[in-house]
Amino acid sequence: MTGSDRAGTARLTASGVSHHYGGVAALSDVGFDVATGEVHALLGENGAGKSTLVRVLTGALVPDAGKLAIDGRRLRFHSPRDAQAAGIGVVHQDYHLFPDLTVAENVCAVSVHAPSRARIVDRRRMVATAHDLLHELGVDVDPQRRAGGLDAAERKLIEIARALLQRPRFLLLDEPTAALEPRETDRLLGVIARLRERGTGIILVSHRLGEVCRIADRATALRDGRQVDTLPRPELTPTALTHLIVGSTVSELQGPAHHAGPTALEVRGLRLRDGATPIDLHVGERELVAVIGLVGSGVPAVLGAVAGSVPSPSASITVDGRAVRITGPRAARRHGIGFAPEDRKRTGLMLQQSVAANMGLGSLSNWSRGGFTNRSSLRSSAEQAGRVFDIRCRSVDQPVGSLSGGNQQKVLLGRWHLAGVSTLVVQEPSQGVDIGARHEIHKHLVSFAADGGRVLFSSSDMDEVRAIAHRIYVLHAGEVSAVFDNTGSERPSRAAVTEAMTTDARSHAHLPDQETSA
């Protein structure tokens, strides 16, 4: 039973909301509502107006026009604290935890609602309060554990617990599963369902349409700052939602159409832990290879060994038939390897620098003479790459931090396009990007490989892996548990890949045959 079926429900309503940035309309007469006890998904491509509406609903932005109300009572927000006082909580996409503080301190001590006595934080009560909140969510985490040691799903659940400290009637979740692998996603969706059952109204912002279909009671899409339509649960399918978001059907790739060539990149003897069987893998010319696994399986270390972000002295790496030593990212670049990391904002881009400056980072020597950068030449090349990758920005002089997630990822790919690399190592190619940008990124990666490049990537999105990979290496506990051929009629099922992620290599006696046949 959803919130709209219950007696005594409350309803948060936004009506006639409009807002402009300069002369550009970010929202135009938008309406949106959510009842307690339901999950209402808010969808749209990057730039559709979702972020602006989220800021309005959470008190971070006063709109030019429109009104907010709960059960008809007009609300006027001048700050996020006003929204919190009205019973609206928010969990942002980016993590906002202090890694050196405990779970309890992150949940309670950083809030104005922290348990206190005589204006001094009561640590015993704080730990008890955090324990009770986590127990309500079904989360088994020690409140006195340091937040820096938590996995991605646990960190997101801690942030939800912190938002619940204020006992909000409505909770906005912005891309809560963007960085999670399938098992963690199932766990978080279970928590959302539990919150719905206890009467919390959930506004879910997500690009993962399969998850929206699983958990949402309704879904509303914005396009170009306007509300397109709202679909009820019986009509929620990925195809219907895609059409709602982009105005047409976007066909996902079903594996690359071109054939892979002979081995171009080979890794042997990569040992991720004591006692583990060393990892061997190869990537062929024109091939896209995925490396996937649960958190802790060692996927980042495998890609890092090739990209130089996590050098491995134990591994033997061969590029185009020549043994190479990759001691860091600079060494990797010398061997034609470009890297797009998972956390593009922290480790991939300089957010305050321009689009052009960020694109030039992979090939500075091409734009520099005598210690000076030829800015005109760099701008011209960046503009050309912007057209190739359809990067939507006012100018290549614009700070890259002002772009959407999809356009930021395209800037990273544009960097290595300008550098002329032969190998791309990409972590989470389409994490946190809208469905249109996701499709464009997939096409660029497949095109790069078809033109003679090679792509080694990781992803927590099974649909993405099945859409673009020739072969799939599955890791479990630091070892390869299976290798799947993802081409032709023998493509693995989702169930087979998931099983390989949760069992060790000894459970997959067919592994050698698959590697040989690949």
User: Range(s) for CATH 3.40.50.300 in the chain?
Assistant: 3-97+150-246, 260-336+422-431+449-518
| SS3 of the chain: helix, strand, coil, percent, to 5 | 40, 25, 35
pLDDT band at residue 257 using 50, 70 and 90 as cut-offs? confident
Residue 405 structure tokens: 């997630």
- The Cβ-side half-sphere exposure at 465, using a 13 Å CA radius, reads 29
298 to each of 292, 344, 480, 507, how far by Cα in Å? 9, 20, 10, 19
CA geometry: angle 40, 51, 43, nearest 5 deg = 40
C-alpha closest to that of 41 among 245, 184, 247? 245
Q: What does the pLDDT average to over 306-335? A: 94
pLDDT above 80 (res 92):
yes
> Is pLDDT at 222 greater than 80 in this prediction?
yes
* pLDDT classification of 368: cutoffs 50, 70, 90: confident
Token pair for 177: 């599963």
Give the mean model confidence (pLDDT) for residues 499-505: 72
pLDDT above 60: residue 85: yes
Confidence category of residue 31, pLDDT binned at 50, 70, 90? very high
State yes or no: pLDDT of 510 exceeds 50: no
pLDDT surpassing 50 at residue 4: no
Percent of the chain with pLDDT over 70: 92
| Residue 484, CA atoms < 13 Å, CB-side half-sphere | 27
Pick the closest to residue 54 from 75, 26, 95 (CA basis).
26
Strand order in the sheet with 316-319: 279-284, 263-270, 316-319, 322-324
The pLDDT of residue 514 is 41
| Residues contacting 371, CB < 8 A, separation 6+ | none
| Spatial separation of the C-alpha atoms in residues 207 and 316, rounded to whole Å | 39
b/e sequence 391-410, b meaning 16+ C-beta within 10 Å: bebeebeebbeebbbbbbbb
Q: So what's the pLDDT on residue 150?
A: 83
Number of H helices and number of E strands within the chain?
17, 24
pLDDT score for 288: 97
Q: What amino acid is encoded at 458 in this protein?
A: S
Which amino acid would we find at residue 411? V
pLDDT bucket at 177, cuts 50 / 70 / 90: confident
Percent of the chain with pLDDT over 90: 56
DSSP 299: H
Q: Tell me the backbone φ, ψ of residue 188, rounded to 5 degrees.
A: -70, -40
DSSP string, 466-499: HHH-SEEEEEETTEEEEEEE-SGGGPPPHHHHHH
pLDDT in tens, 322-340: 999 999 999 999 999 999 9
- Single-letter residue type at 219: A
Give dist(CA 161, CA 137) in Å, integer. 8
Give the phi and the psi of residue 400 in degrees, each rounded to 5.
Answer: -65, -25
Determine the pLDDT at residue 8.
Answer: 61
- Residue 362's alpha-carbon distances to 317, 378, 386, in angstroms, are 21, 12, 15
Look at domain 3-97+150-246 and name its CATH class: alpha beta
- Provide the pLDDT for residue 490: 77
3-state SS, residue 281: strand
- Separation in Å, CA 1 to CA 77, 188, 382, 393: 31, 20, 53, 44
- Mean pLDDT, the chain, whole residue set: 87
Answer whether residue 505 shows pLDDT above 70.
no
**Residue 336 backbone zone (phi > 0: left; psi -120 to 50: alpha; other: beta):** left
* pLDDT, mean of residues 289-315: 91
Helix (H) or strand (E) holding 229: strand 226-232
pLDDT tops 50 at residue 140: yes
What integer pLDDT is reported at residue 517 of this predicted model?
37
The mean pLDDT value for 362-368 works out to 85
List alpha helices for 198-324, DSSP H.
Answer: 209-215, 238-246, 299-307
Question: Worst-scoring range by mean pLDDT, 279-283, 417-421, 454-458, 511-515?
Answer: 511-515
**At residue 218, what are phi and psi to the nearest 5 degrees?**
-145, 160
- Highest-confidence range of 291-295, 352-356, 436-440, by mean pLDDT? 352-356
| pLDDT score, position 425 | 97
For residue 170, the SS3 value is: strand
Euclidean distance between CA atoms 249 and 238, whole angstroms: 10
Give the Cα separation of 355 and 214 in Å (integer): 37
Tell the CATH superfamily of the 260-336+422-431+449-518 domain: P-loop containing nucleotide triphosphate hydrolases (3.40.50.300)
Minimal CA–CA distance to 456: which of 477, 475, 443, 470? 470
Q: Which of 80-84, 153-157, 395-399 has the lowest mean pLDDT?
A: 153-157
CA distances from 161 to 59, 68, 132, 438 (A): 20, 25, 9, 31
pLDDT at 511: 43
Mean pLDDT of 88-113: 83
State yes or no: pLDDT of 2 exceeds 70: no
- The average pLDDT across 163-169 equals 89
Average pLDDT over residues 104-111: 79
For the entire predicted model, the pTM comes to: 0.71
Query: Residue 476 above 70 pLDDT?
Result: yes
